[in-house]
Amino acid sequence: MAAASVQKTDFRDAMAKLGAAVNIITTDGVAGRAGFTASAVCSVTDEPPTLLVCLNRNASVYDAVTRNGALCVNVLHGQHKTLSGMFGGKTPMAERFEAARWRTAVTGSPVLDDATVSFDCRIVSRAPVGTHDVLFCEVLAIDTCAHTGGLVYFDRRYHELSVIAA
Ligand SMILES: NC(=O)c1ccc[n+]([C@@H]2O[C@H](COP(=O)([O-])OP(=O)(O)OC[C@H]3O[C@@H](n4cnc5c(N)ncnc54)[C@H](O)[C@@H]3O)[C@@H](O)[C@H]2O)c1
Ligand SMILES: Cc1cc2c(cc1C)N(C[C@H](O)[C@H](O)[C@H](O)COP(=O)(O)O)c1[nH]c(=O)[nH]c(=O)c1N2
């Protein structure tokens, strides 16, 4: 097979054009409470309900997420832009959680009070790929709120979803 020749910067520039939903991934348990912003989240299979999350092994949350073995995917809407920035930056962990209201999921992971939808999961396996671990997560419970909007990260900026008229 030919060696890959795509540069990292070209890959990132191209990936910036691949819009993705924005989520806050939370965890709690023996290794403590933690959370980070993630756009690398997708559905894997509905039998059993499973999604995946890609997590950089250098992230400060890595130890907590993997040792707790559980996480909650909180899907964001347009009013969560500032919150997303806090969970995606260098903000101290306590400050991140003080910026919103949370409930506790069955796994113990924090559930964002007004997330569009939240998936409470246990991590069933993980696969290292380059700098990241792909976390395969079985969904144990789902929580939805009345807010139906969506937040998308595209072209290195946040966009609020709106319906295109038929
Ligand atoms: N999958 C990820 O780990 C991921 C995704 C989005 C943003 N980020 C981080 O957020 C910050 C701002 O990102 P940005 O989108 O404004 O500009 P950017 O140029 O860093 O990234 C552009 C796009 O490339 C992809 N990407 C970025 N870093 C990656 C990584 N380490 N591994 C795999 N894919 C990656 C994402 O799709 C991102 O939207 C950066 O520090 C970036 O590393 C990480
Ligand atoms: C919009 C957006 C999307 C993502 C991210 C950032 C932002 C702003 N980050 C980066 C991640 O949130 C960041 O590395 C963590 O918050 C960890 O930062 P600290 O190490 O705690 O400072 C990120 N990291 C990751 O491992 N997987 C991902 O899918 C994403 N996606």
Domain with 35 in it: what CATH number?
A: 2.30.110.10
| More confident position, 130 or 149 | 130
Q: Residue 46 belongs to what domain range? A: 20-104+111-143
Q: For residue 166, what pLDDT is reported?
A: 79
Q: For residue 163, what pLDDT is reported?
A: 85
Going from the Cα of 112 to the center of ligand 1, the distance in angstroms, rounded, reads: 23
Q: Is the pLDDT of residue 77 over 70?
A: yes
Residue 163 included in any domain: no
Q: E strands within 16-106?
A: 20-21, 23-27, 34-38, 41-46, 49-56, 70-75, 102-104
pLDDT 10s digits, 148-165? 789 999 999 999 998 888
- Which atom of ligand 1 sits closest to the CA of residue 18? 37
The residue-averaged pLDDT of 115-132 equals 98
Q: For residue 2, what pLDDT is reported?
A: 65
Is residue 42 within 8 A of residue 119, CB to CB? The reply is no
Residue 160 included in any domain: no
Q: Is the CB of 26 under 6 A from ligand 2?
A: no
Q: How far apart are CA 77 and CA 115, in angstroms?
A: 7
Residue 15 included in any domain: no
Q: What is the share, in percent, of the chain residues with pLDDT greater than 70?
A: 98
Q: For residue 105, what pLDDT is reported?
A: 96
Residue 94 included in any domain: yes
Q: Could you tell me the pLDDT band of residue 124, with boundaries at 50, 70 and 90? A: very high
Q: How far apart are CA 105 and CA 74, in angstroms?
A: 11
Going from the Cα of 134 to the center of ligand 1, the distance in angstroms, rounded, reads: 15
The residue-averaged pLDDT of 24-47 equals 98
Q: Whose CA is nearest to atom 17 of ligand 1?
A: 156
Number of domains in the chain: 1
Closest to 111 (Cα-Cα) out of 68, 136, 153, 76: 76
Q: For residue 1, what pLDDT is reported?
A: 66
Question: Which ligand approaches the C-alpha of residue 52 most closely?
Answer: 2
Residue 6 included in any domain: no
Question: Which ligand approaches the C-alpha of residue 56 most closely?
Answer: 2
Q: For residue 149, what pLDDT is reported?
A: 82
Q: What is this structure's pTM?
A: 0.97
